[in-house]
Amino acid sequence: MSDESAPDMPPRLTLRAMTKRYPAVIANDRIDLTVQPGEIHAVLGENGAGKSTLMKIIYGAVKPDAGVLCWNGVATTIDNPAAARELGIAMVFQHFSLFDTLTVVENIALGLPKGTRLDELALRIAATAAEYGLELEPQRHVHTLSVGECQRVEIVRALLAKPQLLILDEPTSVLTPQAVEKLFETLRKLASQGCSILYISHKLDEIRALCHTCTVMRGGKVTGVCDPRQETAASLSRMMIGAEPPAMQHVEREPGATVLAVRQLSLPKNHPFATALSAISFDVHAGEILGIAGVSGNGQQELLAALSGEDPRAEAAMIALHGAPVGRMNAAGRRALGMGFVPEERLGRGAVPELSLALNVLLSHQTTATVRYGMVRFKAIAGIAASVIKRFNVKAAGPNAAANSLSGGNLQK
């Protein structure tokens, strides 16, 4: 921690008995939390443990039912995110809030006073990005960025306000190992300058490598506070899940028949900042897990768009699914042949935030089971959603819960 966290200084943030109830669950049950100046403080817990709700309370996006919040030693009520930003609290959400059709500088300008000059702001963005080792091009449109690059936009937007407390909600869930290490360098530098950081995660190794203190949550309650550097992954896991972590077992499998065949897949750029694909070939067999690795921005987005049918520009024979050429087929056609696609952006592409889970099911399950004679069979789609909730242990109020009410991990399920 920085020298700013001297013994006579009050904590940067203190929560006492913070409570938030929803109709189906107590998301936060009398939570206590203390964050010192210049401290990187982890909040660790499984999906649905209540971490994101607690952070939204601190940021003023959710109103608590009970509890006391003290900011720099003074009891404070934070009514909305604007009030939080005024105090010096910034938050980078798990689901980004950027407009795809605007540039980086235009997105950041939306949260600044009217009359802000874009040319001057672009220079400030470039300077801040360079200072903290975050590569960013202010004039690029957001729809051309990878998820990791979008996260950099959100972080730089937060840093421009020179916050006293930066909240990061699951910041590494979509980052490559190289990007994670770059992010950690940025966070360590911020902490050394006196900025407190709340780091929300369920990745034990990252927390042990980065954080000074760790508050562990399970089922909406605090189960422990510790120095993660003095703990093992097993001891942290016990606090997080209440039991020993399950043993990992490797099972040898003989690959089955070829399910997906890609042959000499080549595509030109579909926008100036895209990456062209050149002569990519591989097979995926039944029962096989094939990994595609690479630093963000090297064609992963373009490859997955071509495979899923979002980009149907490939020659038909370049992509074959169960032996059928599908390179020109749209996403719905490939889905009918048994292909599924889970995009990295959970909200916006993976799900429509304001729609219920049942209605989100309908978006990709338009069959005679869900739609008959042009009429939606609402009981059928609710049944499908309920079966997914049960099968994958999704923590949700039910099929009619809005997609944006779920934690990121539960939404991904």
Output 71-80 pairs: Cβ under 8 A, ≥24 positions apart. Answer: 71/12, 71/13, 72/10, 72/11, 72/12, 72/164, 73/10, 73/11, 73/14
Is 324 in contact with 287 (CB distance < 8 Å)? Answer: no
Residues forming a β-bridge with 321: 260, 324
Point out the least confidently predicted range of 6-10, 245-249, 355-359: 6-10
Region 48-53: mean pLDDT is: 86
Give the pLDDT confidence of 199-226 residue by residue, as tens digits. 998 788 889 999 999 999 998 999 999 9
Region 126-131: mean pLDDT is: 88
Q: Report the alpha-carbon distance of residue 88 to residue 94 in Å, rounded.
A: 20
Residue 20 predicted with pLDDT over 80: yes
Percentage above 90 pLDDT, the chain? 53
Domain ranges of the chain: 13-241, 253-342, 346-413
Q: Report the alpha-carbon distance of residue 317 to residue 323 in Å, rounded.
A: 10
Q: What pLDDT is stored for residue 3 in this prediction?
A: 45
Q: What pLDDT is stored for residue 279 in this prediction?
A: 95
Region 257-276: mean pLDDT is: 92
Cα–chain-centroid distance for residue 47? Answer: 12
Residue 176 predicted with pLDDT over 80: no
**What three-state secondary structure class fits 163?**
coil
Region 248-259: mean pLDDT is: 86
Q: What pLDDT is stored for residue 151 in this prediction?
A: 83
CATH of domain 13-241: 3.40.50.300
Is 47 in contact with 240 (CB distance < 8 Å)? Answer: no
Q: Is 350 or 163 the better-scoring residue by pLDDT?
A: 163
> pLDDT-based confidence at 396, cuts 50/70/90?
confident
Region 338-366: mean pLDDT is: 86
Q: What pLDDT is stored for residue 4 in this prediction?
A: 46
Q: Is the pTM of this model over 0.85?
A: no
Burial 60-91 (b: 16+ CB within 10 A, else e): bbbebeebebbbbeeeeebeebeebbebbbbb
Which among 166, 231, 170 has a CA at the least distance from the CA of 43? 170
Give the pLDDT confidence of 303-345 residue by residue, as tens digits. 999 999 999 999 999 999 999 999 999 998 999 899 999 887 7
Q: Which tokens is 39 given?
A: 């401290």
CA atoms within 13 A of residue 397's CA, in its CB half-sphere: 15
Q: What pLDDT is stored for residue 120 in this prediction?
A: 92
Region 299-304: mean pLDDT is: 90
- Mean residue pLDDT of the chain comes to 88
Q: What pLDDT is stored for residue 174 in this prediction?
A: 66
Q: What pLDDT is stored for residue 22 in this prediction?
A: 80
> pLDDT-based confidence at 7, cuts 50/70/90?
low
Q: Is 215 or 245 the better-scoring residue by pLDDT?
A: 215
Answer positive or negative: Cα dihedral of 271, 274, 277, 283. negative
